[in-house]
Chain A
């Protein structure tokens, strides 16, 4: 089933236009659809970080769990340089701000790039020793690094820079256009990288290191490259998160954050960019929004349903996760990417799938 190229372009344009209309609609009705606005922004931010993790775990085959640490570096770098000078005294009310940094306020975009560069610089330094490790050992080393970063940020010695465990607030906000737009740009750049000659080299390393090396691919150089680029975008993701949340503290970037992102990557499919994006939006939406009502006490016909209470949504969420992992072992998208053909194919196959389901049941009944 081959669609014409023009048909595909038209579909893409319509989808893009619909998305922009949705954004405009949400921006102008912010108060009414607050939850949708939140989910969309947070979903896209997590999508950036998830794609950056996928670049490493799914495309280069390096099992790294340091994403939260790099996000923390990015978020703090962004926050430190963008909190307005006049409100800094009230943010650093405990020990004051380091005089070197106190006067520097950077424009949003510059601070965001600085956030990425900060994370990338740390990645470059720890990459050389750490990337010699393989699989689980690499995961443990990066996990440890991520926790070290968090502990450092929260340490009292860093009070004048990171405000220690008090966190940073008064971070200037940005509109939904800026946040979502920047996220899309970041994801697009990573997608371009993955489809370039270097992306193919990364995939070669994932497939077979020995063969990749025999094909003239310098393993350490390419692994380091993937690690630094992935961290750069994780740093930017952290900066965007700071921009969106407006206040951050070190406990935001606990190991749980890395697991959330790993979860998004696994559900979306290791090695699928669109899978990661889709899954970031779905996971965020179901966690923060669609499953909310499980947390409210529920009364049907005067009977109080016992299980509906605070935190119950996470139980449901976990069950859904298990279902996804059981039935879609390779994630929603596997290693393939979204395509219009795939979508129409899926829609067309629904009737036959439903009937085959019935046939199976009949067969089982006999």
Chain B
């Protein structure tokens, strides 16, 4: 089996008394497409935000490329209130900020699109190149980095061509139709040169035709850029079609994991989605 690129161990996220994610562990191997599914409010986005460094978990650890990027244990007030498991297993506090995690090679998109709305499509993608640029303020201001800047612009243009947004490169991002905004968000994430792409409900609000297009698009960029993809998604057609493996969360707890076929026939997953008859 290929190398593990992302590993989450015993992630617990507790807000006050509410345990949003309880003891969630998972692994993503290089080159896979892995999906995280679950009914509304199951804690998918919270788990996602922990992995990308937006929230520090209450307990647990996250590894990227075999390097520990996040680790925490219940402290302070949380020590008494902690309602999760595996207390005492983790003793280190490591909190990489989202920008540091992006720098390591993890790029993400957002559930409710977060583009740089009043900037052009081209600038949206070009901004993502800033992180990898070596210039400091002085050299950037006085254009001593002209070569690098030119290279970045060229790469941005190429990227836009690949994702099919070159014809709208000078449009303001918020003026694009919804589907294209989703594509742009993925293009912007790709511009950070990631190894792992995290997609938070990429097909949210899309009609079946747009979803089909997106499915093909994700497959295509995955191959073209040699990516590993981890995503949250509600559209089951999309999930079942492109995922190699699936994790299922319900009420913050992992209830199943496996290949699409296994998940489709898993009794607990069906119960979580459809409910259980009361008299059973």
Interface on chain A toward B: helix, strand, loop, or mixed SS? helix
Tell me, yes or no, whether B89 is within 8 Å of chain A by CB: no
Residues A192 and B142 in contact, CB atoms below 8 Å apart: yes
Residues B137 and A217 in contact, CB atoms below 8 Å apart: no
Chain A residues proximal to chain B, CB less than 8 Å:
189, 192-193, 196-198, 200-201, 203-204, 207-208, 210-219, 225, 229, 335
Residues A216 and B114 in contact, CB atoms below 8 Å apart: no
Residues B133 and A216 in contact, CB atoms below 8 Å apart: no
From residue 116 to 134 of chain B, which have CB atoms closer than 8 A to chain A?
Answer: 116-119, 123, 126-133
Shortest distance from the beta carbon of B51 to any chain A beta carbon, whole Å: 12
Select which of B97, B135, B142 is within 8 A of A213 by beta carbon.
Answer: B97
Tell me, yes or no, whether B59 is within 8 Å of chain A by CB: no
Select which of B100, B110, B119, B141 is within 8 A of A196 by beta carbon.
Answer: B141
Residues B114 and A198 in contact, CB atoms below 8 Å apart: no
Tell me, yes or no, whether B140 is within 8 Å of chain A by CB: yes
Select which of A192, A207, A214, A229 is within 8 A of B108 by beta carbon.
Answer: A214
Residues of A within 8 A of B119 (CB): 200, 203-204, 207
Residues A204 and B145 in contact, CB atoms below 8 Å apart: no
Considering only CB atoms, which chain B residue lies closest to A208 in the complex?
Answer: B114
Give Cα A202 to B133, complex, Å.
Answer: 15
Tell me, yes or no, whether B188 is within 8 Å of chain A by CB: yes
Give Cα A196 to B142, complex, Å.
Answer: 9
* Chain B: interface size category: 35 or more
Shortest distance from the beta carbon of A233 to any chain B beta carbon, whole Å: 12
Q: Top 10 closest A-B pairs, CB basis?
A: A216-B131, A207-B116, A216-B102, A211-B114, A196-B140, A193-B141, A213-B98, A204-B127, A215-B128, A201-B130
Residues of A within 8 A of B192 (CB): 215-216
Residues A218 and B116 in contact, CB atoms below 8 Å apart: no
Residues B99 and A211 in contact, CB atoms below 8 Å apart: no
Give Cα A60 to B164, complex, Å.
Answer: 30
Give Cα A19 to B278, complex, Å.
Answer: 85
Considering only CB atoms, which chain B residue lies closest to A209 in the complex?
Answer: B114
Select which of B114, B135, B142, B188 is within 8 A of A210 by beta carbon.
Answer: B114
Residues B102 and A207 in contact, CB atoms below 8 Å apart: no
Give Cα A192 to B137, complex, Å.
Answer: 11
With A192-B143, A216-B102, A225-B137 already in contact, the answer to whether A207 and B117 are too (CB < 8 A) is yes
Tell me, yes or no, whether B219 is within 8 Å of chain A by CB: no
Residues B130 and A208 in contact, CB atoms below 8 Å apart: no
Shortest distance from the beta carbon of B163 to any chain A beta carbon, whole Å: 16
Q: Apart from A208-B115, A219-B99, what 8 extra A-B contacts exist at CB < 8 Å?
A: A192-B142, A196-B141, A204-B119, A208-B117, A211-B110, A215-B99, A215-B188, A216-B132
Residues of B within 8 A of A192 (CB): 141-143
Give Cα A208 to B123, complex, Å.
Answer: 14
Residues A218 and B97 in contact, CB atoms below 8 Å apart: yes
Considering only CB atoms, which chain A residue lies closest to B142 in the complex?
Answer: A192
Give Cα A196 to B135, complex, Å.
Answer: 10
Select which of B100, B102, B140 is within 8 A of A215 by beta carbon.
Answer: B102
Residues A218 and B99 in contact, CB atoms below 8 Å apart: yes
From residue 85 to 105 of chain B, which have CB atoms closer than 8 A to chain A?
Answer: 97-100, 102-103
Shortest distance from the beta carbon of A357 to any chain B beta carbon, whole Å: 28
Most chain A beta-carbon contacts within 10 A, residue among B114, B115, B133, B143: B114
Residues of B within 8 A of A214 (CB): 52, 98-99, 102, 107-108, 110, 114
Residues of B within 8 A of A204 (CB): 116, 119, 127, 130
Residues A216 and B140 in contact, CB atoms below 8 Å apart: no
